[in-house]
Amino acid sequence: MSDAAQQSGRPLVFRGGTVLTMDDASTVLTDADVLVVDDRIAAVGPKLDVPEGTQEIDATGGVVMPGMIDTHRHMWQTAMRGYGADWTLTQYFVWYYLEHGKKFRPQDIAAGNRLAAIESLDAGVTTTVDWSHNLHTIDHGEAAVDALRSVPGRFVMAYGNIQAGPWEWSADPAVRSLLERLRDAGDDMMGVQMAFDVTGDPAFPEKAAFEVARDLGIPVTTHAGVWGATNDDGIRLMHENGFMTPETTYVHASTLTRDSYQRIAATGGSISVATESECSAGQGHAPTEQVLQYGIPVSLSMDTSVWWSGDMFSAMRATLNADRMAEHMEAHLKGDTITHLRLRAQQVVEWTTRGGAHALGRDDLGSLQPGKKADVVLIKNDASPVSFPLLNPYGHVAFQAQRGDVHTVLVDGRVVKSDGKLVGIDLAPVRSEIENTIEYLRGACGEEVWQQGMFPQMPEAEAAILDNPYQYTDYVDEGKRAGGEDRVLGR
Ligand SMILES: [Zn+2]
């Protein structure tokens, strides 16, 4: 750290901001202060008395809010930022799952993770779940963890491996040992989950992986309700076998029926809505109507920078837009007009702060209240014509602000971004390790394949891919695409 104030461990106070506490009462304070002492929020309120020597940050004209939380990001894919901008989900599966994912070396996973981790901090995302599903050797796993640890953010290593069945990689003693090490470290900067999907194969081969997770006491995160890939059968198998726990995260949960949403609601797990992804890739419509209807806890996520950005402003904006588009369209088809929107800016700000904290079982995150961890973001940009007037603070965060307006970021009480610039992070070596990875992948693919990769063609076994991209077994479910209306509409 180059920041002198932090080295001396001085307390720090944000002065005179609009404070979104995100507490149970949704308290918003204007012209208020937030005092941080060590790694905790010490006080929130107007004109606070602070200890002598406290560092002051002028928050006037800005919004002070909890650090944002992304509950599902394939951070390794940031090594190929923007490459798949025009992909469908099928093209993504073809490139990473079937053809080129295995080319990634441990240092390539690390390069993507490091860049994604830095990107998170820059955007005020203080906690990011690394849905790390290309760890096809333990060396890849170790490299992924080391890269995250090299960046002063809060992360959750969600360990996975698309190149093998979950029952296979989770049985590897080296993987188990790494998971135990992460679990037992008691490091609140690095959580651990297991990341795998349930194909719906009636033989339920994923059962063994769930048993490992249960034995180890590690939560599972799973892509559920993904059109053509996972559906109600996976949810039902999990439920019937007792693996739907409150700690479980269901990512997307788009193409499911009422039956599955009821099972999720009844068992207390949460849904990670990745709307920008769902709008573009084809998993199904973001299930915002369903989470509201069934009272399911919800967080937001960005999924992957191979298509999209890694900032939660985009997540909030996309989520409001998609929900409102659906609500309007449904009404218009009946000749009706929506006069009051069901999903409000306040809700998406909640989902990206306290919603994420709840999903991770981290009630010490996600709100600005005395005693909570000091993960804090100041949105303020006096040079920007978009910074005023600040009339509706939730609306301002969701629709007006962007990552360039993230002025100050604290993680665990430590300043990682100050006055709009990352602190103590040198991008030059990060840039060169990314360049090394791109040069290697490009060479390994060959230039023609690399160029075509932005618009991959279906390989020979086309039908099988459309039915089930998770080709761990020979199981093919004809129902994955059939009878879609109920699943599309979540009925
Ligand atoms: Zn995903």
pLDDT computed for residue 184 by the predictor: 98
What's the whole-number mean pLDDT along residues 425-451? Answer: 96
State the amino acid at position 262 in one-letter form.
Q
Please report, in angstroms and rounded to a whole number, the separation of the first and last CA atoms in the chain.
52
Contacts (Cβ under 8 Å, ≥6 apart) of 165: 205, 206, 472, 473
Separation of 74 CA from ligand 1 center, angstroms? 6
Q: How confident is the model at residue 470 (pLDDT cuts 50, 70, 90)?
A: low
**CATH 3.20.20.140 residue spans of the chain:** 68-359
Separation of 397 CA from ligand 1 center, angstroms? 25
Separation of 7 CA from ligand 1 center, angstroms? 38
Helix (H, G, I), strand (E, B) or coil at 194: strand
Separation of 302 CA from ligand 1 center, angstroms? 8
Residue 161 reports pLDDT greater than 70: yes
What's the whole-number mean pLDDT along residues 284-309? Answer: 96
Separation of 14 CA from ligand 1 center, angstroms? 36
Q: How does the average pLDDT of the chain come out, rounded?
A: 93
Separation of 135 CA from ligand 1 center, angstroms? 15
Residue 2 reports pLDDT greater than 90: no
Separation of 116 CA from ligand 1 center, angstroms? 15
What's the whole-number mean pLDDT along residues 424-435? Answer: 97
Q: Which two tokens stand for residue 488?
A: 């599309």
Q: Is the peptide bond before 11 cis (omega within 30 degrees of 0)?
A: no
CA angle 434, 437, 441 (to 5 degrees): 140
Separation of 252 CA from ligand 1 center, angstroms? 8
Separation of 437 CA from ligand 1 center, angstroms? 22
User: Among 36-40, 67-71, 391-395, 475-479, where is mean pLDDT lowest?
Assistant: 475-479
Q: Are strands 220-224 and 190-195 parallel, antiparallel or unpaired?
A: parallel
Distance CA 275, CA 352 (A): 12
Q: CATH for 68-359?
A: 3.20.20.140
- Structure confidence by residue, pLDDT tens digits, 186-227: 999 999 999 999 999 999 999 999 999 999 999 999 999 999
Separation of 112 CA from ligand 1 center, angstroms? 15
Share of the chain above pLDDT 90, in %: 87
Separation of 193 CA from ligand 1 center, angstroms? 14
What's the whole-number mean pLDDT along residues 367-392? Answer: 97
Q: For residue 217, give Cα distances in angstroms to 128, 192, 210, 245, 377.
A: 20, 10, 10, 11, 32
Separation of 303 CA from ligand 1 center, angstroms? 5
**If you write DSSP's letter for every residue of 13-58 in order, what string do you get?**
EEEEEEEE---TT--EEEEEEEEEETTEEEEEETT----TT-EEEE
Q: How confident is the model at residue 404 (pLDDT cuts 50, 70, 90)?
A: very high
Residue 474 reports pLDDT greater than 80: no
Is 467 in contact with 476 (CB distance < 8 Å)? yes
User: Among 88-102, 162-176, 223-237, 296-310, where is mean pLDDT lowest?
Assistant: 88-102
CA 23 remoteness from chain centre: 22
What's the whole-number mean pLDDT along residues 382-411? Answer: 97
Separation of 456 CA from ligand 1 center, angstroms? 19
Neighbours of 475 (CB within 10 A): 15
State the amino acid at position 17 in one-letter form.
G
Separation of 30 CA from ligand 1 center, angstroms? 38
Residue 159 reports pLDDT greater than 60: yes
Separation of 488 CA from ligand 1 center, angstroms? 19
Separation of 72 CA from ligand 1 center, angstroms? 6
CATH class of 12-67+366-422: mainly beta
**CATH 2.30.40.10 residue spans of the chain:** 12-67+366-422
- Structure confidence by residue, pLDDT tens digits, 246-293: 999 999 999 999 999 999 999 999 999 999 999 999 999 999 999 999
pLDDT computed for residue 244 by the predictor: 98
